[in-house]
Amino acid sequence: MAATNKANMDEVGMNKGIWVEGRAKKKVLEFLNGLLNSKKLEAVLMPATNRTKDSYSWFLMGKDGLLESADPFPPVMTTQGARAVSYLTKKGRAWKKTAVLLRPCELRATIELAKIRQVELENLVLISFDCPGAYPLEKYFNGDQKKLDEAFDACLSKQAELEGARAVCSICNRFTGRGADIEIGLIGGEAKGFWLIPGSREGEDLLEGVTGSASHKLEAREKAISELRAQREEKRKQTLDSFQETVKGPENLMRVLSSCINCHNCSRVCPICFCRECYFDSKALSSEADAMLQRAQRKNGLRLPPDLLLFHLGRMTHMSISCVSCGACEDACPADVPVSMLFSLAGRNTQAVFEYEPGRSLEEAVPYTVFKFEELKDFEAPYIKEYSKEQ
Amino acid sequence: MDEKKEFTPSIIYGLCSWCGTGGSETAGAMHLQYADNIRPFRVPCTGAIDPVYILRALIEGADGFAVSGCHPGDCHFDSGNYRARRRMAVLKTLLETFGLDSERVWLRWVGHGEGKRFADTANEFNDHIKKMGKNPLAQRRDT
Amino acid sequence: MADQKTEKIIVAFLCNWCTFTAADLAGTSRLKYAPNIRIVKVMCSSRVDPVFILKPLLDGADGVLIGGCAPGDCHYSKGTFYARRKIALAKTLAGSMGLDPRRIRLSWIPASEGPRFARVVNEFTKQIEALGDNPAKREVYI
Amino acid sequence: MQTLIDSRMTMPDFIAALFDKLDLAGVAAMTKLPSGEKAAYTLLTDKDDIEDCVPYFPAMPANAARAVSKFTRQAPPSKQVAVFLRPCELRALTELVKIKQAAVDNLLIIGFDCAGVFPFSKIRLSDELKLKEYREAVAKGKNCEGIRPVCSACTRFVPEGADIAISFIGRNLDEPLVLSFPSEKGKEAAKTLGLDSSSKVEASPAVDSLAEERGGAEKKLTEKIEEALSGTDGLISVFDKCISCHACSHVCPICYCKNCYFESQTFEYFPESYFTRMREKGALRLPVDRVLFHLGRLSHMGLSCVACGMCEDACPVNIPVSQIFKTAGAKAQALFGYIPGKNRDEPLPLLTFSERELEEFED
Amino acid sequence: MPKASTVVIYGTNLSGYRIAYALSKLGYKTIMLNRGAYVDEVRNQVLTQLPFDLCWACAYAPQRLFVGLGAMQILYNSELLELTGTAGNFKAKVKKRDPFVNNYICAECEKCIDACPVEVEKNGKKQKAVYVVPKMFWENIFLIDEENCTKCGKCETACPTGALKMNPPVEEIEIEAGAIILAPEFDEPGEAELAPFGWGRIPNVVKSSDIARAALATNFTEDSFRRPSDGKLPQSVAIIVTPHFNEKGIEYENYNASAQAVYRANKIKEMHPGIDVFLFCRDYKCYGKGHCRMYERAKDNGVHIIRTEKLALSVADGEKNRISFSTCSTKELTDKKTVEMTILITGQRPPTAMKRLSKICGIPAESHGFCDIVPFTCAKTEVNGVFAVGEFTSPKGNPETIWEGYGPLREILSWLGEKNVAKPQPPVLRDVSHEEAKTGVFICSCFGAFSDKMDLESLVNRVKMFPHVSHAEIINGCCTPSSIQETAAKIKNSGVNRVVLAVCTPTQKLMKFRKTVMIAGLNPLLSEFLRLREDVIQVHTDPARMEDKAAAMIYAAASKLKTARALPTLMDNIGSSVLVIGGGPAGLEAARYLGEAGYDVHVAEKTDHVGGMADILSKDLEGHEIKKYMAQLLEDIEKNEHITIHTDTTVTDVSGYAGNFHVRFETKDGETVEVDPAIVIIATGALEAKTDQYGYGKDERVMTQLEFEQKLAEGKITGGHVAMIQCVGSRNPKKPYCSRICCSDALKNALTLRKQGIDVTICYRDMNTYGFKDDYFQAALKDGVSFLRFDENHYPKLEASDDALKIKINDISDGKDKEVVSDYLVLATGMDPNRENNEVFSNLFNLRIDDDGFFDVESCACPYEDASKRIMKPFELSSNGVFVVGTAHSPRSFMESVMMARQAAGKAMVILSSGKMAPPNAMYVSEVDTSKCTGCGLCVDVCPYNAREIDPVRKVAVVHPFLCDSCGACVVACPSSAAFLRDQREDQLIRTIDGLLAV
């Protein structure tokens, strides 16, 4: 259960990684099959290539073992994994003990969804890995997939930047699977092998009996991670700051949004946007023709369907605090709007207000549900008592 | 638009049904004069103001949106104002992030008995928005 | 590929007034018919949305049978006319989308005709057996 | 055949005249966005803004019928508003009126011949070369390179059901408009605008040649899709990449449901159901009901599909949704002899019946 | 002779109000005798005796809504002259004079003021002889300045509604009453009492109540701390808890005097860390919930807390106060501090009304001059049928006073006849669901007052053109009986089915507006009430722009109404039985109270017998016979057929919600009992704290106070010397609360010992004897009990040898090290929460546990003390229907636990009596659109009233409407607008915004 249970984490500690030599993809599948055979697990939810082998999809696999095409490290993110977990457990806890393989951002989104009861973590074992990023769907579908796959595999262990990765991936600073029940440590292993690191009691139990050496110290990995993180953090800051410059002000922002077709597909694939009916598609915003004519009069015209900017900004007020910068929105945008950058930027800033990191810990309440008595004074307009003396 | 005509901003003032409204009523009872282009928008509690309303107003023609309700600790509904403050913080952060004049949105607590504070806030906000000028966002047809 | 020997599954949507009653009659008359059928009672055959037909086919049922009152005999007077249009649509769509329309059958079986119900089930079962397994049955990629 | 009249007005003049003489409350048409790169369907109320109108701009960021639906669903305008619509948008609007998702009261519908549109992410206002090619293709009555596949196979490119129709194929876009007035409302408007039959114009032969080219393309497209969709394997392969985002239905002008059936609680399962199904098959692909969504959606709206191509434009994984729906929709429509968007008064096929029909489907 | 049913309430203190409210709910009429010319002229506690600074207007005012609804009547300028008859059939002779302006008819058009020719200077401002009292919460009160009025009669002629009567006669009436409640307001100490503290003679000495009042208008900002002499912010402040310094008449600390002082100190410090704050008290009496934490905070904040026995104030120089004090009782005033401002925490003095009322009603005063109450009863005086409540019976703070209003209900009812107030039958409403929306706008001219200020005709013409408006017209008014009828007729005749009333404040006149719409046959959800007066008429001057604003408001309201839906008021049936968990004195008292009122009560007790800790106690400090009382209680319980006792039981499962719980418990034999209580009272008590300090547990001579008391009762203590150490293991950062009872117990046992001639030494930190208990401290001093006072950081040390216990202590009274040689050491260990128990019930009933381990008051239906705003709300169930009473709530004495149980039971009785319950905001409750709801629970998390939960099967939110107070927190929390308020659906609010921008 809940991998991000802090107490759990502290107890287990982080220096217990098991070093496994060999190709990570193969070994991880062996490991999972082993758990299925030994009935420690009854099912695994993870990506596998689809029939036409040109894309990936989520599969729940069990009794007969994993599909041959199962791939713990897919080069693209078709459906955000947290959504897949949500499909499975929205109506109740997983029926059987199930391992789920998630990218770090999918893991974070899963934790966020657990907070809002769209995911039930009980009976799930969350496994995550050091993610090199993912290709944009469009690039992957239109490019030379073999080459791209090779480049991706090469990146898995070398902690090199994935060339052509999605914009959000290239500035991702939370690229490890920390917080999962089992973390697959690729960084620092230099392709010779990888670590399986327990993040909870449960993870520890599952790793029992996995043969590997404990000799390979995790320090190398920690060092590599912190270097990469420092780099990424710097890059993230710079990229978002300079991106902010390009979208600041109504003129710039509307230019960026001008290709938006108001299809709301970004929210539909968003793992955090869990509403069954989006507020911005609801009756709340519908009005009579005359009212729209009036709006048109006020602002020299009204784009139809209306409320395009309201949708984006409004959605940000609803979920940017929980935005995990997974990039699913941008992949699904048919109009090439840099949605994920917009949301990453918005999320960075709104999350900072509450020092909230989505997906960091299950125990951290969603900021809208809690408050402190003394906080956020800066957002209040200070009263100048002498303002209108004459009265 | 007549350029010479003084700019009269279009302002919505979101008031909670208790203190915000009470403050405005006290101002009324005391016959305090304040800017007449301010339109009251009444909700049960500041905690019931969805930032979406404010965004909608700013995009659709308002030059400013002020919110007043019970002081912290005084909420008729226990804690609505604390949550309101959080939402307003998010909203203002977002507006700031995208350079959309976060100063067009004000949150200031006004108690039931604070007629003067209410009128002052209305006037000050009006002057403040006048100084800021028209809301460029509200003039765009592509939003 | 599909194992021809597996038991075929036929999902049947039967209208409460005619065919479901006919099935009842078949039972009380101790008529023997193929055991492959899984009955879903609906109040009227026109309640059967094409989605109800397509879903079992995609999820691996080998056939879908819709049974209702004969045109003109509908308990709700016009239901079967609408039902016929819907099932025609379902079959046409199935045909154009790569599903075998022969796996869908619409039969009007009045309440009094228990034997006919048994016959239709047997016939349809045979027909489905001849068609073999629905390829979607073991298809994990669907 | 409608009488064609030379209006002696270019597009801007025409819109200005509409404003002036018909006392319009507004005009809705493709309009340049202030940012200058793109155009969007926009409601304008000020005559001064009409210079930004670009009704012909060959892109469809949204099917305008959806926009008109948003505009009129709650209540139609109390004063007349002119709406510019492409033929497929007009057909979609007609279908929406049937299901009460739009009203045409107080709308003056201006339709125009459509030479197709480019995928919307592929065209900008600044793409002069492309636009020039497009104009030339229009004048010649040929398919322009780069327009969407469904557009190049669209044979219903002349507006049906407009109040004022602009004849466009085979003509120069900058020249005065050639109009016809198929409806009473249109004729009334013509009178007010001071247009009479004295300036009759002949129909352009380019219309027929384009029809022929499109007819051929349509046949080819149908064949291609039919082949791709053969058998369960075909069905799976075609939709294999689908990520269940449902973007196709969300931009579809016909899919009017507020909460899509396939996103409703009906299709949310309890966990045990997933595991049982997984055991039966060995593995279960998630999200489930992916193919069912497409088939089911077809069964819900295929009879009204106007092949506008929005779905395909919006698909983030390049599934030829529109081509599939056009092909499958056409077959279903043929079953009932139903032509969507043809006639506002014709009932939807599933809401009517005749007593003796379709007997081949029963036994 | 049949009993009378009306109840006369003398005075308007909060308790009286609460009784009036509760009786009206129960169907009885009350007549309140208000000695002032308007409500609150004689200040009751609401303004000043708050535990904290809070604006209470919104919570206090709703009680007034019952005034004028028939159930509660207020007589102004009234006095009780004579009381004859006996309980059940009193005849009260009352003198009264109606107010000049009848508030229920007055439209507040101010025409009288315009007409008045007299103008005088008052406080630097010009004022007419008829004038408005600055707004009292919701009402504007019109008064005539009798001194300057020339009686010209112009105002009376000008009054369009006939509300103003220039010469209302003084009348004498006789009221037949079943019971009399004495609830006069408190007497604030005046110059005489406060003179020693310089009040009235030394500049910059202010009363805390003055600050509290000022704070209400400035909302507790810096303004409340300006020094009076020059309006400047003082750089140093002294706060003095005056009751501690034995000045005659105010020496008894009311509930929150110490707490108020510390609160005030913290407030100043937190706002201006630079100000030096000195707090002078003798003891810090912090026995209320959370009070010790405030004290800890004060220390952290750097407040200088000076414990002193004596002090005096004088002028230092200019406008500064010099405070001379001594920390030692023997020393003269040697230490000095100079401050720029002094705040006196004043407390209450004995009521001046006591003498008169004593004569009229025949009730005796107790020794201090307050009204005497029969022990173990709620508010019962020695005369049957006459009750006394609130600060009339002892110094009190708000929470106690308010709760006291519920305590005596059952006893009051026993003297009353048949119910004499029927609920008004609402008019039949038209079903308009099938009609197209037609909105009518009715614009009030306020009898011409509005039309003087702006052109209403023009507004009407403009409004008529709005797309959503089908009818518009001017009305005269909508607030006087006749104008309500006229307007209703206009609405009806216009044929509209949506109504916009552009009138004045609904905060005050909501009921009238609603009534108007209902008389017109429409559901009020189809109407909007705009404040033309407050938002336009009174605050703007440019007529054209006033019209714009009014038009915009009307436009917005009309657009909002377009999609309004009429829905019936929700009602829920509630059960009639009660479950009491815990069979201690508090639980049993609650059970007896409700059982005798005829409600079925189940008592679930964990152990094999009921009675709890009371077995051990025989008398309390005041000498009340606890044993006798308990015997009577058990006997009453035994013979009451409504009460079922289940011993040896464990509560295993709770489902349902307030009003309709379903509780299962198991007995020791594995038997399962299921009950469906409407209300649950938790009285599971607390534990005596144990300690390992001072050799307790090892040395038999060291024992807890309770153990000692038993020994004493058994006669085992016959001689020697007894030492007591107070506050062992408590009032420290680890356990920051006072157990409230230890000081009393120590005094009680010490006095007993002294009677036997045994020497006693009490080592203490603060003598926490509150109220009249302080008498016993004085008595103990007189009786020769020796008191040694130690510092909180230097507890006494024990040196134990076989022959003696040597206690070494530094006495801070004189700063000397002392040694006490004793035979017994008695430790005041205080109370510990029953954590295990509390945990269980907190899970079962969704109650929170507070930082100290007791039940948190915010989450239960019995908010006492710091859940301040909710205490005021009369709404019975603005939380989850679970009352926590007695020591499970917080440390209480025996008597206090029992009283608390009665008060909760009284409130429970009011709820149960209704059988049905509508939500507090009956019409506007929040609801769920289940097709949209995803069960994310955000709404549950933010609901302050526990009114929502997730249905575990359907995975959607459900609302318990009568817990919902319609705040809308859930609506905003829900991103997909699956949560909505009935009158404010999302689309309606968006329409409103569009509408406001449309004109």
Whole-angstrom distance, CA of residue A8 vs CA of residue A17: 16
pLDDT band at D5 (very low <50, low <70, confident <90, very high): very high
Q: D85 and D181, same structural domain?
A: yes
Q: Are residues D83 and D148 located together in one domain of the fold?
A: yes
Nearest-Cα distance to chain A for C22, in Å, is 38
Contacts of D259 in chain E (CB under 8 A): 931-932
- How sure is the predictor about E572, in pLDDT bands with cuts at 50, 70 and 90? confident
Cα separation of E262 and E284, whole Å?
9
User: In a mutagenesis test of the E interface, which of A272, A273, A280, A283 is the best target, namely the one with the most E β-carbons within 10 Å?
Assistant: A283
Whether the Cβ atoms of residue D332 and residue C89 lie closer than 8 Å to each other = yes
- Are residues D147 and D231 both part of a single domain? no
Rounded Cα distance, E350 and E353, in Å: 9
Is E54:E382 a contact under the CB 8 Å cutoff? Answer: no
Asked, for residue D100, whether it belongs to a domain, the answer is yes
**C6 at the D interface (CB within 8 A)?**
no
Tell how strand E926-928 and strand E236-241 pair up: unpaired
D70-103 pLDDT tens trace: 999 999 999 999 999 999 999 999 999 999 999 9
Q: Are E70 and E421 in contact (CB under 8 A)?
A: yes
Within a 10 A sphere around the Cβ of A203, how many other Cβ atoms? Answer: 23
- Asked whether E550 and E536 are in contact (CB, 8 A), the reply is yes
Share of chain E above pLDDT 90, in %: 60
Q: Closest Cα partner for D174 from D123, D138, D122?
A: D138
More confident residue, A107 or E660: A107
Quick one: D244 and D165 in the same domain?
A: no
Residue B102 has pLDDT above 90, yes or no: yes
Chain E residues with CB-CB distance to B71 below 8 A: 55, 219-220
Which of D88-92, E140-144, E181-185, E366-370 is predicted least confidently? E140-144
Same fold, E573-685+844-914 and E926-981: no
- As a whole number, mean pLDDT of residues E159-176 equals 94
Please report the pLDDT score of residue A13 as a whole number.
46
Q: What is the pLDDT of residue A214?
A: 65
Does the CB of D126 have a partner CB in chain A at under 8 Å?
no
Per-residue model confidence as pLDDT tens digits over E753-784? 999 999 999 999 999 888 889 899 999 999 99
Distance (Å, whole) CA E222 – CA E272: 8
Which CATH class, in words, describes the domain spanning E439-562?
alpha beta
Q: And the tokens for C24? A: 């009842």
How many CA within 13 A on the CB side of residue B99?
Answer: 15
**How high is the pLDDT of residue E810?**
93
Q: How far apart are CA B59 and CA A253, in angstroms?
A: 13
* Neighbouring chains to B with at least 3 Cβ pairs closer than 8 Å: A, D, E
Q: What's E920's DSSP letter?
A: T
Q: Is the backbone of residue E315 left (phi > 0), alpha (psi -120 to 50) or beta? A: beta
Q: Are strands D283-286 and A56-61 parallel, antiparallel or unpaired?
A: antiparallel
Confidence of residue E192 (pLDDT cuts 50, 70, 90): confident
C119 interfacial to chain D (CB closer than 8 Å): no
pLDDT over 50 (residue A86): yes
**Which of A43, A191, A209 is closest to A127 using CA atoms?**
A43
Mean pLDDT of D176-198: 91
Tokens 């659109």 sit at which residue? E929
pLDDT for position E459: 97
Whether residues D43 and D189 share a domain: the answer is yes
Identity of the amino acid at E464: K
- The structural architecture, per CATH, of the domain E7-98+168-187+350-413 is 3-Layer(bba) Sandwich (3.50)
Q: What is the mean pLDDT of residues D142-155?
A: 96
What residues of chain B, 77 to 96, have a C-beta less than 8 Å from chain E? Answer: 77-80, 83, 87
Residue with tokens 């697990």: A41
Homologous superfamily, domain C10-131: Lumazine/riboflavin synthase (3.40.50.960)
Pair D135, D282 in one domain: no
pLDDT surpasses 50 at A1: no
Q: Which residues of chain B make contact with A309, given a CB cutoff of 8 A? A: 59, 137, 143
CA atoms in the 13 A half-sphere facing the CB of A158: 10
Cross-chain Cβ contact E993/B12 below 8 Å? yes
Q: Sheet harboring C104-108: ordered strands across?
A: C37-42, C10-15, C63-68, C104-108
Mean pLDDT of E280-287: 88
Q: What is the number of other CB atoms lying within 10 angstroms of the CB of residue E316? A: 16
CB A94 within 8 A of CB A117: no
- The average pLDDT across D32-38 equals 89
Q: Is the pLDDT of residue A3 over 70?
A: no
**Whether residue E867 has pLDDT greater than 70:** no
Type of residue at E373: I
How far from chain centre, in Å, is Cα A149? 21
What DSSP state is assigned to residue E189? P
A57 to chain D, any CB pair closer than 8 A? The answer is yes
Q: Which of E937, E942, E986 sits opposite A284 (nearest CB)?
A: E986
CB count in 10 Å sphere of residue D188: 14
Higher pLDDT, E717 or E440: E440
The pLDDT score that the predictor gives to residue E65 is: 61
User: Which range has the worst mean pLDDT, A32-41, A110-119, E284-293?
Assistant: E284-293
Task: Give partners of D (≥3 CB pairs < 8 A).
Answer: A, B, C, E
Tell me the C-alpha distance between B41 and E302, whole Å: 43
Of E879, E17, E693, the C-alpha closest to E404 is E17
Q: How many domains does chain D have?
A: 2
Q: Take residue A346 and report the two structure tokens written for it.
A: 């918005």
**pLDDT of E250 higher than 70:** yes
A158-168 tens-digit pLDDT: 767 899 999 99
Confidence of residue E447 (pLDDT cuts 50, 70, 90): very high
In a domain, D205, yes or no: yes
Q: Are strands E310-315 and E321-326 parallel, antiparallel or unpaired?
A: antiparallel
The SS3 assignment for E430 reads coil
Give the pLDDT score at E855.
93
Q: Which residues of C touch A67 (CB under 8 A)?
A: 140
A–B touching, 3+ CB–CB pairs within 8 Å? yes
Yes or no: domain E573-685+844-914 corresponds to CATH 3.50.50.60: yes
Q: With 50 as the cut, is the pLDDT of residue A4 above it?
A: no
Q: How far apart are CA C51 and CA D266, in angstroms?
A: 12
User: Left, alpha or beta for E771 (phi > 0: left; psi -120 to 50: alpha)?
Assistant: left
D218 in a domain, yes or no? no
Confidence band for A6, pLDDT divided at 50, 70 and 90: very low
Q: Which residues of B touch A300 (CB under 8 A)?
A: 139-141
Q: Look at residue D165 and tell me whether its pLDDT is greater than 90.
A: yes
Check E467 against D78: CB less than 8 A apart: yes
- Nearest Cα neighbor of D325 from D144, D314, D265, A266 is D314
CA dist D189 and D132 (Å) reads 32
Query: Domain containing D206: what range?
Result: 4-213
Domains of chain B with CATH codes: 11-139 (3.40.50)
Give the model's confidence band at C51: pLDDT under 50 very low, under 70 low, under 90 confident, else very high.
very high
pLDDT band of residue C1 (cuts 50, 70, 90) is very low
Residue E422 has what DSSP assignment? P
For chains E and D, tell me whether 3 or more CB atom pairs sit within 8 A of each other. yes
Average pLDDT, chain E: 89
Report the gap between the CA of E676 and the closest CA in chain B (Å).
Answer: 29
Which residue matches tokens 């949106």?
B65
So where are chain E's domains?
A: 7-98+168-187+350-413, 191-345, 439-562, 573-685+844-914, 688-832, 926-981
Distant-in-sequence, close-in-space partners of A358: CB < 8 Å, separation ≥ 6: A108, A109, A111, A112, A272, A321, A322, A323, A324, A347, A351
Which residues are CB-contacts of E506 (< 8 A; sequence separation ≥ 6)?
E513, E529, E531
Taking Cα atoms as reference points, which of E768, E43, E747 lies closest to residue E348? E43
- At residue E628 the predicted structure's pLDDT band, cuts being 50, 70 and 90, is very high
Q: Among A91, A273, A278, whose Cβ lies nearest the Cβ of E955? A: A91
Instruction: Tell me the residue length of chain C.
Output: 142
Question: Does pLDDT of A8 surpass 60?
Answer: no
Instruction: Return the pLDDT at B1.
Output: 44
Across C124-131, average pLDDT:
95
Question: Do D185 and D245 sit in the same domain of this protein?
Answer: no
pLDDT of residue E839: 94
Same domain, D228 and D209: no
Cis peptide before C71 (omega within 30 of 0): no
Phi, psi for E416 (deg, rounded to 5): -105, 155
Query: Mind telling me how many Å the CA of A308 is from chain B's nearest CA?
Result: 6
Whether residues A50 and C140 touch (CB distance < 8 A) is answered with no
Instruction: Give me the residue spans of the domains in chain C.
Output: 10-131
Which of D213, D234, D268 is the C-terminal boundary of a domain? D213
- Tokens representing E193 are 């009492």
Choices 3.65.10.10, 2.30.110.10, 2.40.30.10, 3.50.50.60: CATH for E191-345? 3.50.50.60
* Closest D-chain CA to B139: D34
CB crowding A148-157: b at 16 or more within 10 Å, else e: bbebbbebbb
Chain A, nearest residue to C142 by Cα: A51
User: Which residue in chain E is spatially nearest to B111 when comparing CA positions?
Assistant: E219
Residue in E383, E504, E374 with CA at minimum distance from that of residue E446:
E504
Shortest distance between the Cα of C87 and any Cα of chain D, in A, equals 8
At residue A12, the pLDDT reads 44
Question: Over 50: is that where the pLDDT of D24 sits?
Answer: yes
Tokens coding A194? 């990888």
CA D116 to chain centre: 10
pLDDT beyond 90 at E139 = no
Q: Is the pLDDT of residue A346 over 70?
A: yes
Instruction: Inform me whether the C-beta atom of residue D62 falls under 8 Å from chain B C-beta atoms.
Output: no
- Across the range E118-141, mean pLDDT stands at 80
Q: Is D59's Cβ below 8 Å from some Cβ in B?
A: no
Query: Which CATH number does the domain E926-981 belong to among 3.40.109.10, 3.40.50.720, 2.40.50.100, 3.30.70.20?
Result: 3.30.70.20
| Closest listed residue to residue D144, CA positions, set D94, D192, D87, D210 | D210
3-class DSSP state for residue E577?
Answer: strand
Residue B3 has pLDDT above 80, yes or no: no
pLDDT score of E577: 95
Q: Say whether pLDDT at B115 is over 60.
A: yes
- What pLDDT is stored for residue E317 in this prediction? 85
Given the cut 0.85, state whether the ipTM is greater than it.
yes
CA distance E634 to A91: 51
Question: How far off is chain D from C1, nearest CA to CA, in Å?
Answer: 12
C-alpha distance from D4 to closest chain A C-alpha (Å): 31
Report the chain E residue with the minimal C-alpha distance to residue A296. Answer: E998
| Nearest-angstrom CA–CA distance, C64 and C62 | 7
In this complex, which of A275, A286, A366 lies closest to E934 when CB atoms are compared? A275
Among D161, D186, D213, identify where a domain stops: D213
Same domain as D127, residue D26: yes
Sheet architecture: strand order including A98-102: A18-21, A193-198, A182-185, A124-129, A98-102, A43-49, A56-61, D283-286
CA-to-CA dists, residue C61 to C58, C137, E436, E442, angstroms: 7, 7, 49, 65
Residue contact E969–B109, C-beta within 8 A: no
State how far the alpha carbon of E868 is from the alpha carbons of B110, E259, E847, E886, in Å.
20, 14, 18, 18
Q: What is the pLDDT of residue A191?
A: 75
Query: From the candidates B19, B33, B74, which should be mutated to test the interface with E, based on the most E CB atoms within 10 A?
Result: B74
Residue E124 has φ and ψ, to the nearest 5°, of: 80, 0
> CA D331 → CA D217, D324, E299, distances in Å?
17, 11, 84
Chains in contact with chain E (at least 3 beta-carbon pairs closer than 8 A): A, B, D
Reply yes or no on whether the pLDDT at A10 is more than 60: no
Which has more pLDDT, E258 or A310?
A310
Q: Are B69 and B84 in contact (CB under 8 A)?
A: yes
User: E801-816 burial by CB neighbour count: b if 16+ within 10 A, else e?
Assistant: eeeebebebbbbbeee
Domain end: D163, D187, D213, which one? D213
pLDDT of E402 above 60: yes
Task: Provide the CATH topology of domain E688-832.
Answer: FAD/NAD(P)-binding domain (3.50.50)
Please tell me the distance from the alpha carbon of residue D90 to that of residue D103, in angstroms, as a whole number. Answer: 12
Cβ-Cβ contacts under 8 Å between B and D: the total is: 12
DSSP H/E element including E849: none
Classify residue E455 by burial, with Cβ atoms within 10 Å: 0-12, 13-18, 19+. Answer: middle
